Copies of this chain bind each other. A is one copy, B any other.
Amino acid sequence: MPRTRSALPATGPVRLGPDSRAALRPAVVGIDTGFWQARRASNAYVSIPQGPALLEAAGNLHNLRLAAGTAVGEFQGAYPFVDTDVYKWLEAAAWQLAQAPGEDLAPGEDLAPDGDLASGEDLAPGGGQASGEDMTPNEDQTRDGDLAAEVGRIVALVAGAQQPDGYLNTWFQLVKGGERYKDLRWGHELYCAGHLIQAAVAHHRATGSGELLDVARKFADHVDSVFGPPGSGKPIDGIDGHPEVETALVELYRETGERRYLDLAAYFVDRYGHGLLGGEAYCQDRVPLREATNVEGHAVRQLYLLAAAADLATETGDAELRTAAERLWHAMTTTKAHLTGGLGAHHEEEDFGDPYELPNERAYCETCAAIASIQWSWRMALLTGEARYSDLIERTLFNGFLAGVSLDGERWLYVNPLQVRDGHTDPGGDQSARRTRWFRCACCPPNVMRLLASLEHYLASSDDNGLQIHQYVSGRYASDLAVIRSETDYPWHGTIALTVEETQVEPWTLSLRIPQWCREFRVRCGQETYEGPVADGWLRLERTWSPGDQVVLELSLEPRLTSADPRVDAVRGCVAIERGPLVYCLEGVDHPGGTLDDIVVDTTRPLAVKHRPDLLGGVTTVVAAGSRRHLPDAGWWPYAPVGESPDSPQQDGEHVELTAVPYYAWANREDGSMRVWLPTS
């Protein structure tokens, strides 16, 4: 009905089935300017176009040709899941193709008004600081290439590599002599199938082409013919060591209407926790989800599995599974989430730690875990209608997720620590705290690409009574009931101006999420002003709307000092600086000498806000008062009886002005020290 609707992106990664029990339906959003548009422009004009050359250089495409018999040589890469780098890139490219064409996505003066990243030149591939490195893509190939043509070319490579019965995994076809499903714990064959399916669904939704969907269905049908419970007549009762195919199969059901895929997903989800994979928490096999009391094991594995559980509860009405997902989400956020929304405390096994074990320098917080968390939370938001899920999404998007990609879209972080110490010795490799051009295990970069390219699908929802705005962006929110124009400089400014452009005649409810972090806000709607009530995170405005009606939401962005539950031992005696949805950090580069570990923040002095259009593409900094401790030489042993210790208060040193920058923007200037949590004494 609304005029502009057709120009908005088509349905995204989650499309509910006809029998869905979700409280909310995804609504359509077009982001056209502002914070996220700048980040998406980097994605669209740098990250995604560079993908094919990087996949070529790393050998992923070569492997597909080998499997198709159209090339000769050795298999490239060290992992059985290298195909998924291709699939995730294809998914990202497909969502990109689904964007409304034209100027909306072009980098221009609206993107980052004061930043050095706003010009097309800076955003061009190869234009960044990393262009001299190993894997610099062929600029001509990507800059001038037509994305649709690239997608078509790579889809054909994938199709060509598929075996006649539908099976597809280049590692097992080429390295393992064609043996299949013999090593479910480490083989990742169904994990690969899952990413293929997700790419295919995106490709189908974005382009209408069934070419990749046919490949995916053929593989899914093959999997369905092989896997099933005892007594089903299927040869294997088994699950994959890395959950992923489950949520993909639900989406394939949604896309095709084939109930078989939903049933297969349900079967897989319920077979975890019964020892089929040896019973290890790492593989989500220690305890069934329905009985679990907290998240555990490999973080990404856990979160993809929980996304599938939410999907299944949504499509089947499985109340026990919903309760389990709600319970685990609460346990995770209460005891195992970093301030940034980052998840996963351990490098070893990439897993969740114990409750309240949330280290700073060794926070793992894999970028993929942040993405999986957003995927899971969005499904929970739709299923339950509750705002807290979008609270976590917001926190994760602006912090733990966005830090994973550099401002120029060319360098990545696999792990996202909350501290890099003075004198840090970096191990290099995938687990480096330094931004890297690509990884041996390159799961994160294309995962970031696919989320940024489909970001508009995680921002708003509708139900029969109205429209719910979960995340505030500049652009248009649309449902069957209305189209609303939004203008905002969020997160730099707290004012969001909403204008009704089209509306149905009957009354409906506009629901605005009041963020969990927000302690003061005001809504002006016509002549009225509201400061509440907020019911479970929502401020609801029910009325008869007319085109031109304005709603202005003002969220107070007073910077704040945050402390943690005392059980979070790692940050005892520390505070973090936050402003709005942004977590801030100190970087050595902004402080004399470049060192941070001797700094103390003075919590009695007010925080000041300073917008710095010149800095990091334009950021609002927070300035705090602090000092540098004098650290007397305590001899060779750094522990001493209380009172003798250099920790005594009289040791306070000279005043220093602390400049905090948004965490997402760290490590874009130099590889120095950084810390989110700051000692108070």
Contacts and interface: CB of A to CB of B under 8 A. Distances in A.
A334 to B, nearest CB: 6
Contact of A647 (B294, B565, B597, B639): B565
B362 A359 contact: yes
Nearest to A651: B566
B296 A631 contact: no
A307 to B, nearest CB: 18
Interface stretch (A124-132, A165-173, A477-485, A571-579): A571-579
A388 B639 contact: no
Interface stretch (A4-12, A34-42, A72-80, A422-430): A422-430
A121 interface: no
Contacts of A296: 425
A339 interface: yes
A281 interface: yes
A425 B421 CA distance: 28
A498 to B, nearest CB: 27
A355 interface: yes
A572 B419 CA distance: 15
B356 A639 contact: no
B636 A427 contact: no
Contacts of A629: 566
A135 interface: no
Interface string A556-600: 000011111111111011111000000000000000000001100
Contact of A568 (B419, B422, B568, B638): B638
A569 B677 CA distance: 10
A673 to B, nearest CB: 10
The DSSP consensus for interface residues of chain A is: loop
A288 to B, nearest CB: 16
Given A346-B347, A359-B359, A565 B645 contact: yes
Contact of A422 (B355, B431, B572, B637): B355
B646 A566 contact: yes
B647 A598 contact: no
A494 interface: no
B646 A565 contact: yes
A149 interface: no
Interface in A342-360: 346-349, 353-357, 359-360
A634 interface: yes
A391 B636 CA distance: 11
B569 A425 contact: no
Given A361-B357, A572-B572, A572-B573, A565 B639 contact: yes
A221 B653 CA distance: 60
A153 to B, nearest CB: 37
Contacts of A355: 421-423
A333 interface: yes
Number of copies: 2
Contacts of A427: 281, 349
A346 B360 contact: no
Given A330-B636, A636-B330, A639-B576, A357 B421 contact: yes
A519 interface: yes
A574 B576 contact: no
A119 interface: no
A573 B576 contact: no
Interface in A588-641: 597-598, 603, 629, 631, 634, 636-641
A120 interface: no
A569 B361 CA distance: 10
A356 to B, nearest CB: 7
Nearest to A562: B639
A442 to B, nearest CB: 20
Contacts of A349: 427
Given A356-B597, A425-B296, A572-B574, A563 B645 contact: yes
Nearest to A347: B348
A105 to B, nearest CB: 34
Contacts of A560: 641-642
B566 A421 contact: no
Interface in A308-343: 329-330, 333-335, 337, 339
B641 A519 contact: yes
A516 interface: yes
A568 B647 CA distance: 10
Interface string A238-278: 00000000000000000000000000000000000000000
Given A421-B354, A427-B349, A640 B563 contact: yes
A592 B137 CA distance: 62
Nearest to A603: B642
24 contacts: A334-B634, A337-B638, A346-B362, A353-B361, A354-B361, A354-B424, A354-B425, A355-B421, A356-B421, A356-B638, A357-B421, A419-B569, A562-B639, A562-B640, A562-B642, A563-B645, A564-B647, A565-B634, A565-B638, A565-B646, A567-B597, A567-B631, A572-B574, A572-B679
Given A356-B597, A569-B570, 7 more contacts: A334-B634, A357-B361, A560-B642, A563-B640, A563-B645, A566-B647, A572-B572
Going nearest first, the 6 A-B pairs with the smallest beta carbon separation are: A565-B638, A573-B573, A347-B348, A572-B573, A354-B421, A563-B645
